[in-house]
Structures are given as structure tokens and as C-alpha cells.
Structure 1
């Protein structure tokens, strides 16, 4: 387990509605995400896994509790400062790729840096591009790339700014098995070789088996935690009712 904490929640609660219609999407979650670790968040539909990721990433407000990225309590930040923190310290990979169709692969990868007025670290950029295998595709627009190549562009975009943490929301959801394996191998390598921290929401036990740690949510609470699990262990944990562990 890492001694560096990349993200933390304390008694995190997120509710929707009022009175009799109140729904607790997150019900008092205490969680630490270790730096340099690959964590998967899993659970049935409505369990709160996407809500947890969105709150951790500062994409959604919380009802009560505390969320920290590194040593910064993001729940206390003004919107302008939160936007800057997301831009400078957080990377995102989405199921739908979220690439700009009129830009080349290279322009999409460096877009967050351009928006921030920063130049890419050329040595790091080259390392990321060669690691993800996009060297001969940098001039292509998204429509000229396969789904797997588009997602690798999205992964490179998330990594090139050297964020403190990357949040990946079903990153293999739109990919075939071969492309999924390529993207997961890249994410795994970025943790092992680049000391990147990744939090991935997924419903896929095969994808989750690439991670260091799997958190299983039910009804807005963490009910199980598995370290270095196999696909079979994940399936068993997802199928079995378990006591709340945190």
C-alpha cells in the first residue's frame, strides 16, 4: 500500500431530493486513494460508483463531508479555483473519448496544456506517445482513427500534463476486446512505470482485474475491498452480499 495519499474522502454524503423523496447516492464514505495505485470502483447500477468518482474529481458538489485531492480540500474551493485545480492536477478519460473532431490527435492530446497556456514537456510527450503507440497517428483527426486509437489519444491527453490523479469513467466501454486490452495495458503501465494514480469506474471484471484494488459499492456505501484480485474473485464478490467494510 502506498504511503502517499492522492485523494481522500471523509464522511462523504451526497443526497438528491428532499423529505420523503430523499435518495442517498453516497452514504458516509471514508476512503483513501493511495498515490501510484490503480483503483477500480465497481457496483450495480445505482450503487453510487459514478457519483463517487464525480465527487472525488470535483465534477459534482457534495451534500456534506470532505473531499481532498492531495492536501487540498476541494469542497472549500471557489468555482474558479476548482476549475483551475481540475485543469492542472486532474486527468480525465471518458467512455465517449471526448475528442475535438476538428483537431488532430496531437492537438487533442496537448489541448489541456494549450488552454492552460503551458508548453508540453517534449521529453515526456515523446515518452507518452511512444508508450501509447500513436507516433504515426499524430496528424490524424478522430474520424480517421479506430475507437481504440481514439481512446489511446484520450489516455495520452490525460497523462501528458502530469496530473496528480486520473479519473477514468468506463474507459473500455465502447471498445472491442483487443482495443480494451491495449488501453488497460497502457493504464497499467502508466501506474507501474510512471507512478501515475488512476481511479477507474467499470462494470467489467476483466478490466478491474488489471488494477491493484477494487472497491465495491452498494446503496452508496463501500461493502467490499479486494487487493490484486482475479477476475473470478471480482465476479464472486459482485455476486455475493457482503458486510460493509467501510
Structure 2
């Protein structure tokens, strides 16, 4: 299996001396092409920091991040900006849609900014999959939270990126809307061969993934393949118990 993204020996340090904190401590992880990986851990475990370093939104203090064979930690800012635009998709908790644009205009925005022509057949497929064909002319304020997040997912996929990073994509949604968004991300992996890396605190959300990585105190502590909500919850409890015993 080809590797879409790889982090090698990643450290992220904040502060110095007595106030130094290691948000990431020597984390190495690979994310296979066409796989759905969830990253979990307690608050402050480093999961969002890891996601931001892998996505090129933040630079690690030490270590390397590869998108395909390209070491993005060595790229100048301008090239990194182009890489994020062309090869990486993002879905955030807060949707980040442009309020003055329609749903369709929001979906095609990254391609429009890049001056790239979109693949109409692919765009139609993505729009069919999110199930919002009749809402494309609506602005974000005219859509529910779940519909807005599905538009954000479609925007992330519109350019057929190497990998989609999702940071708590269901954090602001009710359970039904969450299920819709997660089913769409899962289908994009299963049917379209997309690679998705998602940070979540929700065991049910993590159960949609092919595997779950667990972080604690900036370190990779455990991995679970073919997760269920119950097995994820059990692993989280074990991590909490270990942390309590150590503390």
C-alpha cells in the first residue's frame, strides 16, 4: 500500500526552560493511501498539533513530514501554500464557508482561486454523494449546520487532493448530521480511494475509520484496527487509567 502522508520523529515544543512543553514527543506515523485514520486522545494530548504539522499548517520543532515523497518541512512558505492548495483538503469544526457565496461557489472556491478548471464529472459525483443538489444556490445562512459541513467536505474533495485532513468535523453537529458527514467521509475513502485523517474525541465518529491512533502527553500510545465505538471507548479508558496511575 502506498503511503499518502508520513510523519517521522516529530517534536513540537512550546516555551523554554521551566515552562517548556512538548506538545509532540518523537511521534512517527504513516497514513496509507485510500485509508481512513482517526486520531484520538485526551485534551492536550497533541492530536490537533499532530494534524496541523502533517497538513503543513504548522511546522514541527524537529522531525519531517512527507506528502508522498515530498518533504514538506523543507519547503519555502510559497511552495507550501501551493502544496496545501493543490494536494491537501481541509475540513474544520467551524465549517469556514464564505457567507456571501452560494454552496456551489464555496465548493469550487479553492479551484477558482488556483485558476484551475474543475473536472465536472468528479464535481457532479461529489455533489451527488453529499446529497445537496437542490441546495447549491443557497448561501451558508440558508443551510443547516450539517448541510454546511457537507458543503465544507465537498470543497475539501473538489480538487481531488492527496489527503483530506478533518479537525473535529462533527464537533458542532447533532448526531444525525454527524452521521451524514461521517458517512460521506467514509464513502469518499471506500468508493473514491480518498485518504482521510481525522481528529475526533467521539468514539462513534472514530468507529467510521479503518484504524485509530491514540495519543497521550504528545506520544503515540496505541493503535486500533477495524474499530468499533466500544473498542475505542475501552482503549480510551485504559489510557485514562494509565495516566491516573502515573499521576
Q: Deviations over 1:80-107 (max 9, x none)?
A: 0000000000000011000000000000
Q: Does 1:207 align with 2:220?
A: no
1:190 is aligned to 188
SS at match of 1:83: helix
Q: Deviations over 1:57-92 (max 9, x none)?
A: 000111011111111100000000000000000000
Specify which of 95, 98, 114 is matched with residue 97 of structure 1.
Answer: 95
SS at match of 2:208: coil
2:15 is aligned to 17
Q: Which runs of no fewer than 5 residues in structure 1 stay unpaired?
A: none
1:44 is aligned to 42
Tell me, in whole angstroms, the C-alpha distance in 2 between the residues paired with 1:196 and 1:158. Answer: 11
1:119 is displaced (CA, Å) by 1.4
Tell me, in whole angstroms, the C-alpha distance in 2 between the residues paired with 1:143 and 1:10. Answer: 41
Tell me, in whole angstroms, the C-alpha distance in 2 between the residues paired with 1:87 and 1:229. Answer: 31
2:132 is aligned to 134
1:216 is aligned to 214
SS at match of 2:111: helix
Tell me, in whole angstroms, the C-alpha distance in 1 between the residues paired with 2:18 and 2:56. Answer: 28
2:25 is aligned to 27
1:188 is displaced (CA, Å) by 0.4
1:174 is aligned to 172
SS at match of 1:189: helix
RMSD between superposed Cα atoms in Å: 0.9
1:229 is displaced (CA, Å) by 1.1
**Paired residue total:** 241
1:40 is displaced (CA, Å) by 0.3
- TM-score by length of structure 1 reads 0.97
Specify which of 60, 73, 76 is matched with residue 74 of structure 2.
Answer: 76
Runs of 4+ in 1 over 3 A off after TM superposition: none
Specify which of 126, 142, 145 is matched with residue 144 of structure 1.
Answer: 142
Tell me, in whole angstroms, the C-alpha distance in 1 between the residues paired with 2:125 and 2:132. Answer: 11
Tell me, in whole angstroms, the C-alpha distance in 1 between the residues paired with 2:170 and 2:62. Answer: 32
1:20 is displaced (CA, Å) by 1.4
Tell me, in whole angstroms, the C-alpha distance in 2 between the residues paired with 1:219 and 1:71. Answer: 29
SS at match of 1:101: coil
SS at match of 1:85: helix
